[in-house]
């Protein structure tokens, strides 16, 4: 008898709905009201340093000073060098779900990134954040704002824009970027720019209406829409600051501003600790990962604090409207290598916070070889006859949470409905 069949006939099963309700903690808003923030840690994090407290597995190199910790159904790895990690977990367990043992079917950064974010490896498909945003493209000036990290827009390119790691978008909107120029001559005055803008918009609309073929029509219409979106963004520059660097705190501020003002539905943030693949700790794993986790969770704390403190357009706290997904494209081997580093590992973890989730749950897990443990995707319970959790299963569940049919985007797996509250 497995856990699932046991529950099927037990008194516990009768009590399950009320337990789930207690976990949920807050009612999910209507599908269409949800917003999404994706936080991406590029390079491959070491799940054994936070999300996977596998102290009972002798084949996994845990840190010497690390201890298991838990709060409100969430368990994690506590370490004296990472007090802010534990503070965050304790403070947010009531609105968090952790998924362990997620299989990304590769061990190369670029392919894993595509798989984790899109479910495919071509790079031609839109990522989850873009699909979620594009579904409501008519409601937002810029449905998906990429403040940091990778993004894949597929055919939904008009729904996505990047801010740039040196505040390039802010400079483009204000025109200040014209001074980033070794041959700077001058720039148009506001009235001149406005007059030219109007001229360009008229031509764009006219051009979209005079296309000679479907391909041409699609491109010209996309250009007209992009021109409209660009103008919309210019208007936003007066009420929010798009400047964001590589620090998660700065990026969080831009994200919350954009959500507060209803500019976008999805925001992607990146935290790589100085750029590139900061988490890629093939040598000196702990000297790399430990401070990165601490900084990541400081940034996450600031993000959640801002979401808590900021009402959206309808007056409801953004935290009650926003699902935050924290992820890395892969994980790291359970054992240290000869240079005290860790190499690539295809089973990773993900942390999700916000409304509509099964709060206080850790789903999935790791087997004796530190591979993913199979689960019943519907409930999220460990189940020997179940399926390995894939990034696609989590992505599909997020789409379902937002009222989007995941079947349009994901095949070969059911959504991991166990994460849903």
**Region 339-358 residues binding another protein, contact defined as CB under 8 A:** 339, 343-346
| Contact between 151 and another protein per CB under 8 A | yes
**251: exposed, middle or buried (C-beta count within 10 Å: 0-12, 13-18, 19+)?**
buried
Measured distance CA(43)–CA(341) in Å, rounded: 13
365 is an interface residue for another protein by CB under 8 A: no
Footprint of another protein on residues 21-50 (CB under 8 A)?
Answer: 42
Residue 183 binding another protein, by CB under 8 A: yes
Residue in 181, 238, 314, 408 binding another protein, rule: CB under 8 A: 181
Residues 51 to 90 in contact with another protein, rule: CB under 8 A? 59
Binding mask 227-256 for another protein (x = CB under 8 A): x-xx-xx-----------------------
Task: Identify the residue among 16, 19, 21, 192 touching another protein (CB under 8 A).
Answer: 192
**C-beta atoms surrounding 338 within 10 Å:** 6
Residue 271 is a binding residue for another protein (CB under 8 A): no
DSSP letter, residue 83? H
Can you tell me which of 96, 97, 147, 160 binds another protein, judged by CB under 8 A?
160
Task: Rule CB under 8 A: say whether 130 interacts with another protein.
Answer: no
Q: How far apart are CA 337 and CA 188, in angstroms?
A: 58
Report DSSP letters for 321-338, one per residue. TEEEEEEES-EE-SS--T
**Among 1, 18, 30, 213, which residue interacts with another protein (rule: CB under 8 A)?**
213
Q: Measure the CA–CA gap between 337 and 341, rounded to whole angstroms.
A: 5
Q: Which is nearer to another protein, 39 or 97 (CB)?
A: 39
Angle CA(364)–CA(366)–CA(372) in degrees, nearest 5? Answer: 70
Among 337, 365, 381, 414, binds another protein (CB under 8 A): 337
Count of residues near another protein by CB under 8 A: 95
The three-point CA angle 27-28-33 to 5° equals: 135
Could you say which of 41, 77, 161, 267 contacts another protein (CB under 8 A)?
Answer: 161
Residue 85's Cα: distance from chain center in Å?
18
């Amino acid at each position: 008898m497995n856990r699932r069949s046991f529950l099927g006939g037990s008194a516990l099963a009768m009590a399950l709905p009320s337990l789930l309700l207690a976990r949920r903690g807050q009612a999910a808003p209507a599908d269409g009201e949800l917003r999404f923030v994706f936080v991406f840690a590029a390079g491959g994090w070491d799940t054994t340093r936070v999300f996977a407290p596998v102290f009972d597995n002798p084949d996994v190199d845990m840190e010497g000073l690390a201890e298991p910790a838990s709060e409100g159904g969430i368990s994690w790895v506590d370490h004296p060098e990472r007090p802010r990690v534990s503070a965050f977990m304790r403070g947010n367990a009531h609105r968090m779900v952790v998924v362990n043992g997620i299989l990304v079917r590769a061990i190369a950064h670029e392919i894993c990134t595509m798989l984790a974010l899109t479910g495919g490896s071509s790079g031609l498909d839109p990522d989850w954040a873009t699909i979620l945003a594009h579904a409501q493209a008519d409601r937002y000036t810029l449905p998906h704002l990429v403040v940091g990290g990778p993004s894949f827009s597929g055919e939904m390119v008009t729904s996505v824009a990047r801010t740039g790691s040196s505040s390039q978008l802010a400079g483009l909107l204000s025109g200040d970027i014209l001074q980033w120029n070794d041959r700077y001559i001058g720039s148009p005055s506001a009235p001149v720019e406005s007059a030219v803008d109007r001229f360009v918009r008229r031509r764009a609309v006219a051009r979209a209406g005079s296309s000679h073929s479907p391909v041409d029509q699609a491109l010209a219409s996309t250009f007209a829409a992009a021109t409209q979106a660009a103008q919309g963004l210019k208007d936003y520059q007066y009420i929010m600051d798009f400047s964001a660097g590589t620090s998660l705190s700065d990026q969080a501020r831009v994200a919350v501003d954009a959500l507060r003002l209803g500019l976008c539905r999805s925001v992607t943030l990146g935290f790589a600790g100085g750029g590139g693949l900061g988490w890629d700790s093939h040598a000196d794993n702990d000297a790399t990962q430990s401070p990165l986790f601490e900084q990541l969770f400081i940034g996450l704390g600031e993000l959640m604090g801002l979401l808590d403190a900021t009402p959206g357009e309808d007056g409801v706290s953004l935290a009650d409207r926003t699902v935050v997904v924290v992820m890395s494209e892969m994980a790291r081997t359970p054992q240290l290598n000869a240079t005290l580093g860790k190499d690539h590992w295809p089973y990773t973890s993900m942390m999700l916070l916000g409304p509509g989730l099964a709060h206080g749950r850790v789903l999935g897990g790791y087997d004796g070889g530190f591979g993913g443990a199979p689960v019943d995707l519907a409930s999220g319970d460990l189940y020997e006859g179940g399926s390995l959790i894939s990034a696609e299963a989590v992505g599909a569940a997020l789409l379902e949470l937002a009222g989007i049919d995941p079947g349009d985007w994901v095949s070969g797996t059911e959504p991991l409905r166990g994460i849903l509250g």
